[in-house]
């Protein structure tokens, strides 16, 4: 989200200032929800949490629960003088939160007394299973310090009430995506903290700018763009003669593609490699200023996986997928959509791949400035031991961390990349900075970086 980057983004790219460290800390706090437990397939925590509890919207339950406790602590009658108020009864809030046997319910009502003054009446009931006191701090811990590893939760229609269903992430995405005119800002905001797998393909097409915001125009445009891509393949790829530059481009692509994910059987399938070769070759021909650069091949992978998952089904295991089992039409859709989304995605970082890759060099220097401001000790340690930022962060910028992260983590990270309103180039700096800070202690103990 652009608002999340307002303070941090400017600091990351600029030249240094007194408030650099604190602004980075503010940024860290502002994005603490980036990996919500409600992301993707509605995660629950192993260890006895009931399904009913897990289905309650995190944001709604947190806000309401803290409201209840605050109200209980500061319990007092509020009288507002007015002579014109007749009998008025309005139920203003209701909340039930159930987790590990703890239930909290609250009801607030507004009545008028005999003098015509409004009296606010609060009733709060608490049912404890071995828990007599709940403090603000403990409640916040329950929402923010979850132990264990999130496990996927299968949806069931008889698990939660309609009110909870309406707050689910699927429901929110559905409401946004099925609107006649898409609210792109709302889609970016909800996508920033993760896109559910079943919604990811269409959401990525919209966030990348491949699909229009008008619902009725989408199918027509998709059909036209897919036809356009097939024409490009016929025009540029299936030709008898290529000039020397095109031959060199194809030769390099042909070498690089089999090297991608060599231990993943899916990417060793001939149909998959041929698909990648066509995508990369046509992109290079259409972008002569940069042409094909090693590293771009890795950027096709997330789009390919997302659209392949859409084609075979959200619950299918892609490791066992055989592209030959899909129809030719399905394969054409995956290839065309991957090409167009890649093209849109690279538009904002094309200077990374022009001659001398000046865009990447600039970002490496920005990362250096950022670390120098937020962690001078680590920066000085790297400098003292002859570590050039270009040595380790060039690949981070060139491949957008696709070689550093597992594929499923890359796809989750790209949910946020695509949701960044001003492009993700600035956000990428903060991700790389987070990498360094995460391994800060190990780096400070290291004395030999060259072996």
pLDDT band at 32 (very low <50, low <70, confident <90, very high): low
Q: What is the pLDDT of residue 7?
A: 40
Q: Do residues 235 and 252 share a domain?
A: yes
State the pLDDT confidence band at 298, using cuts at 50, 70 and 90: very high
Residue ending a domain, among 347, 370, 399, is 347
229/226 Cα distance (integer angstroms):
5
pLDDT digits (tens, 9 = 90+) for 358-401: 889 999 999 999 999 999 999 999 999 999 999 999 999 999 99
Q: Are residues 391 and 321 in the same domain?
A: no
**Is a pLDDT exceeding 70 seen at residue 306?**
yes
Q: Is 132 a residue whose pLDDT tops 50?
A: no
Q: Is residue 177 part of a domain?
A: no
Q: What integer pLDDT is reported at residue 380 of this predicted model?
A: 96
The answer to whether residue 2 sits within a structural domain is no
- 313 and 435 housed in the same domain: no
C-alpha 238/C-alpha 226 separation (Å) is: 17
Do 211 and 287 sit in the same domain of this protein? yes
Banded pLDDT at 289 (limits 50, 70, 90): confident
Higher-scoring residue by pLDDT: 181, 2? 181
Q: What is the number of structural domains in the chain?
A: 2
Output the six-digit token pair for 159.
């698990």
- For residue 73, being part of any structural domain is answered with no
Determine, yes or no, domain membership for 135: no
Pick from 347, 366, 398: which residue ends a domain? Answer: 347
- 386 in the same domain as 427: yes
Average pLDDT over the chain, rounded to whole? 74
* Per-residue model confidence as pLDDT tens digits over 317-355: 888 899 999 999 999 999 999 999 999 999 888 788 887
Residue 426 covered by a domain = yes
335 & 383 share domain: no
Q: 57, 167 in Cβ contact below 8 A?
A: yes
Contacts of 9 (CB under 8 A, 6+ apart): 422, 426, 427
323 and 390, same structural domain?
A: no
Given 327, 347, 367, the domain boundary residue is: 347
CATH code, 369: 1.10.472.80
Residue 140 pLDDT > 80: no
CA-wise closest residue to 31 among 213, 193, 142, 268: 193
Domain match, 403 and 338 both: no
Residues 136-163 have a mean pLDDT of: 37
pLDDT recorded at residue 26? 63
Percent above pLDDT 70 for the chain: 62
Model confidence, pTM: 0.66
Instruction: Examine the pLDDT at 162 and tell me if it is beyond 60.
Output: no
- Tell whether 301 and 403 lie within a shared domain: no
Assess whether 302 and 208 both reside in one domain: yes
pLDDT at residue 22 in the model: 56
Please state whether 165 falls in left (phi above 0), alpha (psi between -120 and 50) or beta.
Answer: alpha
The count of residues in the chain is: 451
Q: Which helix (H) or strand (E) holds 108?
A: strand 102-112
What is residue 34's three-state secondary structure?
Answer: coil
pLDDT value at position 260?
A: 85
Structural domain span for residue 270? 196-347
Q: Is residue 134 part of a domain?
A: no
Q: Is 100 left (phi over 0), alpha (psi -120 to 50) or beta?
A: left
Mean pLDDT, residues 112-141: 41
Whether the Cβ atoms of residue 109 and residue 91 lie closer than 8 Å to each other: yes
Segment among 15-29, 179-193, 303-317, 413-427 with least mean pLDDT: 15-29
- Greater confidence (136 vs 314) lies with 314
Residue-by-residue DSSP string for 198-264:
HHHHHHHHHHTT-S-SBHHHHHHHHHHHHHHHHHHIIIIIS-S---HHHHHHHHHHHHHGGGSSTT-
Instruction: Mark whether 256 and 361 lie in a shared domain.
Output: no
Q: Is residue 445 part of a domain?
A: yes
Q: Does residue 339 share a domain with residue 202?
A: yes
Cα–Cα distance for residue pair 310/291, rounded to 1 Å? 30
Q: What is the mean pLDDT of residues 176-203?
A: 95
Kindly state the tokens that stand for 299.
Answer: 């950027």
Question: Does residue 315 belong to any structural domain of this protein?
Answer: yes
Which of 82, 87, 90, 78 minimizes the C-alpha distance to 117? Answer: 82
């Amino acid at each position: 989200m652009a608002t999340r980057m307002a303070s941090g983004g400017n600091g990351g790219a600029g030249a240094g200032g007194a408030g650099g460290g604190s602004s980075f800390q503010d940024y860290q706090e502002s994005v603490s929800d980036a990996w919500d437990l409600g992301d993707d397939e509605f995660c629950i925590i192993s260890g006895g949490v009931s399904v009913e509890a897990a289905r309650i919207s995190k944001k709604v339950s947190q806000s309401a629960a803290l409201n209840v406790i605050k109200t209980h602590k500061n319990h007092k009658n509020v009288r507002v003088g007015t002579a014109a108020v007749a009998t008025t009864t309005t139920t203003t809030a209701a909340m039930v939160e159930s987790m590990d046997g703890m239930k909290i319910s609250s009801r607030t009502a507004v009545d008028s007394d005999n003098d015509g003054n409004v009296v606010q009446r609060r009733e709060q009931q608490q049912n404890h299973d071995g828990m007599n006191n709940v403090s603000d701090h403990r409640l916040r811990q329950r929402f923010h310090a979850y132990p264990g590893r999130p496990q996927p939760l299968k949806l069931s229609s008889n698990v939660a009430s309609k009110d909870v269903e309406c707050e689910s992430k699927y429901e929110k995405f559905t409401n946004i995506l099925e609107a006649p005119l898409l609210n792109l800002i709302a889609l970016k905001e909800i996508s920033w903290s993760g896109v559910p797998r079943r919604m990811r393909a269409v959401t990525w097409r919209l966030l990348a700018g491949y699909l229009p915001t008008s619902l009725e125009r989408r199918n027509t445009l998709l059909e036209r763009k897919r036809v356009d891509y097939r024409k490009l393949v016929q025009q540029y790829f299936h030709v008898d003669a290529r000039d020397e530059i095109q031959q060199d481009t194809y030769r390099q692509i042909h070498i690089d593609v089999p090297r991608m994910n060599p231990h993943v059987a899916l990417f060793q399938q001939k149909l998959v490699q041929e698909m990648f070769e066509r995508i990369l070759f046509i992109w290079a021909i259409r972008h002569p200023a940069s042409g094909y650069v090693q590293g771009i091949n890795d950027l096709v992978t997330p789009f390919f996986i997302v659209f392949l998952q859409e084609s075979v089904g959200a619950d299918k295991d892609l490791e066992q997928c055989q592209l030959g089992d899909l129809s030719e039409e399905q394969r054409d859709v995956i290839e065309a959509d991957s090409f167009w989304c890649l093209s849109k995605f690279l538009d904002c970082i094309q200077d990374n791949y022009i001659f001398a890759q000046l865009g990447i060099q600039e970002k490496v220097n920005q990362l250096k400035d950022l670390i120098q401001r937020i962690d001078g000790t680590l920066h000085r340690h790297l400098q003292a031991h002859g570590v050039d930022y270009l040595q380790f962060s060039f690949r981070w910028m060139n491949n957008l961390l696709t070689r550093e992260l597992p594929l499923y983590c890359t796809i989750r990270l790209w949910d946020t990349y695509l949701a960044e309103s001003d492009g993700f180039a600035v956000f990428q700096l903060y991700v790389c900075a987070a990498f360094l800070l995460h391994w800060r202690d190990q780096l400070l103990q290291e004395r030999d970086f060259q072996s």
